[in-house]
Amino acid sequence: MIVKTDQERNGMRAASRVVKAALDAAERFIKPGVTTLEIDAVVEETIRSFGATPSSKGYQGYPNASCISVNDVVVHGIPSLMTVKDGDIVSVDITALLNGYQGDAARTFPVGNVSPQNLALIAAAKAAFEAGIEYAKAGGKVGDISSAVQLYTELRGYGVVRALTGHGIGHKMHEPPEVPNFGKRNTGAPLKNGMCICIEPMITAGDWRVVIDRDGWTVRTADKSNAAHYENTVIITGGEPEILTV
Ligand code: MF3
Ligand code: CO
Ligand code: CO
């Protein structure tokens, strides 16, 4: 959706605030010993407390309100009775629908005392997003964002996942254009004033290749290295982009 009216912008902002509140609630709740299903319940309650609905529930058969991806799981981890442990890293990805508008964001949280390597990986996912957002301006192209994310990530020795991408967002969770985390400058869809996209680096401590579990959802690194995810919903403008989920 190319966001034009004040009403549409406000709709995207409001849905995004719900997502941010649910991420914050998950962050406060996460501690050693809680199950990923309990984290998901906190997310769902928070979303519903705003009168919003969790978009992922029922999306192509996905069962839960959030995706909770631990350690070597990159994205789309299904909440379960598995507990998170001291030293784990937990990625929480949430999409919420409010008044016809979608917001989508993800963070990777440390559980208890986490190794410096894992903290650096988490920080690198956020920094890769920030490298990409530098190029999120009308007049540029999607490939400018993609190449900046890739360059930042790979220069630091991390892998950048290619099987999944960021995306446009609006009345639907996934809209054109795709926003890959790798690519070449001056290629891809033109960035336009009012365009709403999700920029979401998924980065790995080792190789970028991923495999999918037999559940059909869980995306893991092929080499079992840990992964981190950082996603925000963003409105492109002629100047500074508006980051809606921070
Ligand atoms: N939130 C994810 C994204 O960033 C999509 C969720 S997949 C679902 O695009 F199946 F859980 F809905
Ligand atoms: Co998401
Ligand atoms: Co997304």
The runs of H, that is alpha helices, within the chain are 6-29, 36-49, 116-133, 142-155
| Cβ–Cβ under 8 Å, residues 146 and 131 | no
Mean per-residue pLDDT, 181-203: 98
Å from CA of 112 to ligand 2 middle = 24
Mean pLDDT over all residues of the chain? 98
Nearest atom, ligand 1, residue 66 CA: 11
What string of H, E and C letters represents the secondary structure of 134-157?
Answer: CCCCCCCEHHHHHHHHHHHHHHCC
pLDDT level of residue 3 (50, 70, 90 thresholds): confident
Vertex 111, ends 59 and 217: CA angle to 5°?
25
pLDDT at 4: 85
pLDDT at 198: 98
Q: Give the residue from 188, 200, 187 showing the smallest Cα distance to 234.
A: 200
Å from CA of 231 to ligand 3 middle = 7
Residues 6+ apart with CB under 8 A from 207: 159, 221, 222, 223, 225
**CA dist., res. 69 & res. 184, Å (int):** 29
- Give how far Cα 19 sits from Cα of 1, 31, 107, 170, Å: 19, 20, 11, 14
Q: What is the pLDDT of residues 46-92, one digit of tens each?
A: 999 999 999 999 999 999 999 999 999 999 999 999 999 999 999 99
For ion ligand 2, residues whose CB falls within 5 Å: 93, 104, 106, 231
Mean per-residue pLDDT, 182-186: 98
Q: Does residue 234 have a pLDDT over 90?
A: yes
Å from CA of 113 to ligand 3 middle = 28
Å from CA of 59 to ligand 2 middle = 12
Strands 196-199 and 202-204: unpaired
Q: 0.95 exceeded by the pTM?
A: yes
Q: Which of 64, 91, 93, 197 to mutate to test the pocket of ligand 1 (most atoms within 8 A of CB)?
A: 93
Residue 169 tokens, joined = 């967002």
Nearest atom, ligand 1, residue 174 CA: 9
Q: What is the pLDDT of residues 113-142, one digit of tens each?
A: 999 999 999 999 999 999 999 999 999 999
For atom 11 of ligand 1, which residue has the closest CA? 56
